[in-house]
Structure 1
Amino acid sequence: MPTPAAPRRRLPVVLGLVLLLVLAGVGVGLTRPGPVAGWLGDDAGPARNSAGATPEPDPADVLAGPDPNAPLPSADGVRAALDPLVGVADLGDRVNVSVADVTSGHTLFAKGADDGTVPASVTKLVTAVTVLAARGPAYRIPTRAVAGAQPGEVVIVGAGDPTVAVDKKGYYPGAARLDDLAAQVRTALGGVAPTRVIVDGSIYSGPVYGPGWDDDIPTGGSGGAVTALTADGARRDPGVGQGAAERFAEPDLAAGRSFARLLGVPTDAVKRGTAPAAAAGGAAPAPGSELGVVQSPPLIRLVDIMISESDNLLAEALARQVALARNQPASFDGAAAAMDAQVAELGLPADEITLSDGSGLSRRNRISPSLLTDLVRLAASPDHPELAGVFGGLPVGGWSGTLGDRYRNAPGTGAGAGTVRAKTGTLTGVHAIAGLVTTADGRLLTFAVLTDKVPGGKETAQPALDRIAAALANCGCS
């Protein structure tokens, strides 16, 4: 058998059982191994579930588990399997690919692997890893209410949790709720009736729409204005799913008005402002003193949702958490700079990534396929258990998330059903996929395929991408 290519860079990844446990438990399983249960806290509740949907089964029922004794494919064998697929016209003339063995790190296939390519929503893998590294899986984002400068004035202070719900009918399961916050405020105020609500989203700065976003993003249902106070992902109707939701143009004021109604304050008495500094003394609540606080689910759950639903507004919120953790401005520019810095600090090749946002909506983003396969291997490392949450939300071919309808009917893709677990990305002319695949022999590989000059639509491009991953799944490739 030909000697496999040398590892691109050596990472401390000898994982077999470690990654198997991650895949079986971190995502949607009912039990979570090792430190994960502690990250979720005692009140974590059942596995995440979209509103009104049937709870997902344990992925161990559908995922092919890796065999630690499986043979390593040869680079020549993988090349023979993939060469006919990466050059097809449906993917255009810029198809950049990286395939590596997860355990050893050996590069098995590389075509433009180090070239920065528009990644679309595959960017969310970087967002997930950097926020887990910067904040930790157990971190929760607070939404606070404090006393305003004038009697009866209540300031609601957003810190970047877009999942907060107005009430029990919220979109995100387990979310913090404004009706709980309002109840705390009423208790803190005693018999004093609030008269005005001030919305403080000053922790964020800069534009609310990202650089390089297509013109239809604000109104197309998959994105919207990024503000520090947002309820239900800015949805006008929390019952509408990702990708089709009409969003508020000013999510901070919309959330503030919902909070005002819960307090019995007229909605015309809601305006933007900033919370006063806390002051001491006085029988009434001092300006700036806390009247209540609610907390988001832990970041490991938010990362699950972001990846499984490809939630763009949640991605931008998590990118800003990286900025805040690294003392950068919570803006598009600040978040991009902080994520780049976090990538470098993790020992990944920062010269192969340039970001403008955290969701992948920006066409200015560039990521190399080999950085993505390195990132997957790093997240699986036993030296970085805090990064394992990136795997939980990865869609499974033919079964869940953005891969639920793929690897089913298109010729040449069936081998990927239940064996491919990956994040997808799609913009007009851009199609990408990156994640994990188990070969026919049981070897676990990581792969990334990025294309950004696709001539046709997703009807032809996505099956062409899926045939590449399916070929790996079907591959002994000795």
Structure 2
Amino acid sequence: MGAARKAAVAGCSVLGVALLGAGYVTANVHDVVPGPFTTQEPWQEADPFPTASLPPQAPSSSIVPDWNEAAPVPTFDGLYPALRDLVTAPEVGTPPGVIVVDVLSGQVLAESDGTTARLPASTTKVLTGAAAVATLDLDETLATSAVLAGADELYLVGTGDMALAAGAGKPDAVIGHAGLGDLADATAASLTSRGLASVTLAYDITAFAEEAQAPGWGTIDFSGGHVTTIQALGIEVGWVEGQTPRDTNSARTAAETFAQALRDRGIEVREVAKRAAPEGSATLASVQSAPLGELLDLALADSSNTLTEVFGRLVAIERGEPATFAGATTAVIDAIANLGLDVSGTQLGDTSGLSSENRIAPRLLVDVLRKAATDPSLSRLAVALPVSGLDGTLANRWLEPGLVRAKTGTLVSVVSLAGYAPTADGRLLAFAVMADQIPYAGSYAARLEIDTWVNTLLTCGCQ
């Protein structure tokens, strides 16, 4: 996936980030999407905090055509009726913040309180994704290593891969790409060659600071399985077989799993503890995660809170900040500011969007999206967003299939959406809408209103 996806990104025009209808028809022929879209039964109430799925990703399109630079630009008068209907709809509660921008020129075409910072939910991931693309080498991988210190002190050292397989790794997968079983094979062989049949085992997760949770998280975020403790080591992003709903000490579980794998291979493991590996320890074996770019694609498509928080810490480390929630949020905001964008009023308690302390203006979201669509160095963000009717959290929305790329956001009181939509004339628009005071239990109805509004952008000549 890495090389092919990378080639698709490099080969596409960074201006054309919306999938055209032909892409949907092709996908539908191959049974990638349900059809016919308009006759589907209404979907069940969506989980308000989507997490990374363990099955293989639905294939997102690599068809990213050029937009029509000569296409007419919609006018305010043309966009206003639909905007008025959206902001006055009772389903969205207090009038939301909305903004629509012409991607090519940057002209604001329609706006309603678009510069006020609001509770963004998972559209926060637009900022984290942009910071990751701007800061990290997305071809790099995360190593999980077994190192030996002293006569018989073995250490399992994590650097951020929370997507390990418990057994053998799966080379074609993103989740479970690297396997603890494979690491145990190589480690046991190395120990045997040294004449060692008995060791102590410690797990070193000092790459990330240990913090219970981010400011603005609640107990439901853990009990509901919407996130797990952010550590430098873990199996299947916390989805360990037999544990419900989610493993909140993924590093310990990984270490116990590795210890048992060593025992199964004839190595006695006398204890399992947590401590840092001494400097100068000898590396016996290591396994590598999927490339960071593929992990980021999955985090954005499936709106994985845990994986996105890992990326926040990786950005923090790269930018010289501590690998903490505070360090990650500082690093992300600074990375966005370094793109030349106005981050005033932005406040983050986390980098995934679960925190009730987050505040982002719709205008900043569209500024980031426009930058991603026009700056080749950020184009990976634009094409990583899920496609309506095809993949991720846009697979089952009431959006015209194959035409919209966008990041969703849902909390108990919030429904947000930020992305790209082409007009009927071929003009590409970036939009953001944040309804952060929706009626209680009203997310389904609010999503319908927002999706209906986005669909008017797609059909708009609006001159």
Give the TM-score range, shorter chain: 0.7 to 0.9
| CA distance in 1: counterparts of 2:233 and 2:274, whole angstroms | 11
Specify the alignment match of 2:326 in structure 1. Answer: 333
What is the 5 A alignment of 1:27-426?
A: 52-53=55-56, 56=59, 58=61, 60=63, 66-149=67-150, 151-168=151-168, 172-173=174-175, 175-189=177-191, 190=193, 191-237=195-241, 246-264=245-263, 269-278=271-280, 288-382=281-375, 384-385=376-377, 387-407=378-398, 416-426=400-410
| Partner secondary structure for residue 455 of structure 1 | coil
| Partner secondary structure for residue 162 of structure 1 | strand
| CA distance in 2: counterparts of 1:50 and 1:304, whole angstroms | 12
One-letter amino acid of the counterpart of residue 92, structure 1:
G
Specify the alignment match of 1:10 in structure 2. Answer: none
Q: 1:473 to 1:273 in 2, by over 3 A?
A: same
One-letter amino acid of the counterpart of residue 19, structure 1:
L
CA offsets, 1:158-187, max 9 Å, x none? Answer: 111111222247784462222222223223
Q: 1:352 to 1:400 in 2, by over 3 A?
A: same
| CA distance in 1: counterparts of 2:61 and 2:101, whole angstroms | 27
Q: 1:220 to 1:102 in 2, by over 3 A?
A: same
Contact 2:146 2:157 in 1 (8 A): yes
Q: What percentage of residue pairs aligned between the two structures are identical?
A: 35
One-letter amino acid of the counterpart of residue 411, structure 2:
L
Specify the alignment match of 1:434 in structure 2. Answer: 418
One-letter amino acid of the counterpart of residue 146, structure 1:
V
Q: 1:94 to 1:262 in 2, by over 3 A?
A: same
Specify the alignment match of 2:455 in structure 1. Answer: 470
Contact 1:50 1:172 in 2 (8 A): no
One-letter amino acid of the counterpart of residue 428, structure 2:
L
CA offsets, 1:430-458, max 9 Å, x none? Answer: 11000101111111100000111111422
One-letter amino acid of the counterpart of residue 450, structure 1:
M
CA offsets, 1:217-266, max 9 Å, x none? Answer: 1121221111111121011229x9xxxx7211211100001111121156
Contact 1:64 1:419 in 2 (8 A): no
Unaligned runs of 5+ in 2: 1-10, 24-51
Alpha-carbon shift at residue 333 of structure 1 (Å): 0.8
Alpha-carbon shift at residue 417 of structure 1 (Å): 2.7
| CA distance in 2: counterparts of 1:267 and 1:117, whole angstroms | 51
Specify the alignment match of 1:17 in structure 2. Answer: 13
Q: 1:274 to 1:183 in 2, by over 3 A?
A: same
One-letter amino acid of the counterpart of residue 119, structure 1:
P
Q: CA RMSD in A?
A: 2.7
Contact 1:202 1:274 in 2 (8 A): yes
One-letter amino acid of the counterpart of residue 339, structure 1:
V
CA offsets, 1:50-100, max 9 Å, x none? Answer: 65558526453xx88633332111122122332222221111114001110
Unaligned runs of 5+ in 1: 1-14, 28-48, 279-287, 408-412
Contact 1:65 1:442 in 2 (8 A): no
TM-score, normalised by the number of residues in structure 1? 0.81
CA offsets, 1:370-390, max 9 Å, x none? Answer: 1000101111224x42x2221
| Partner secondary structure for residue 220 of structure 2 | coil
Contact 1:425 1:432 in 2 (8 A): yes
Q: 1:177 to 1:53 in 2, by over 3 A?
A: closer
Q: 1:267 to 1:248 in 2, by over 3 A?
A: farther
Which of 186-195 and 97-106 deviates more?
Answer: 186-195
Alpha-carbon shift at residue 208 of structure 1 (Å): 2.8
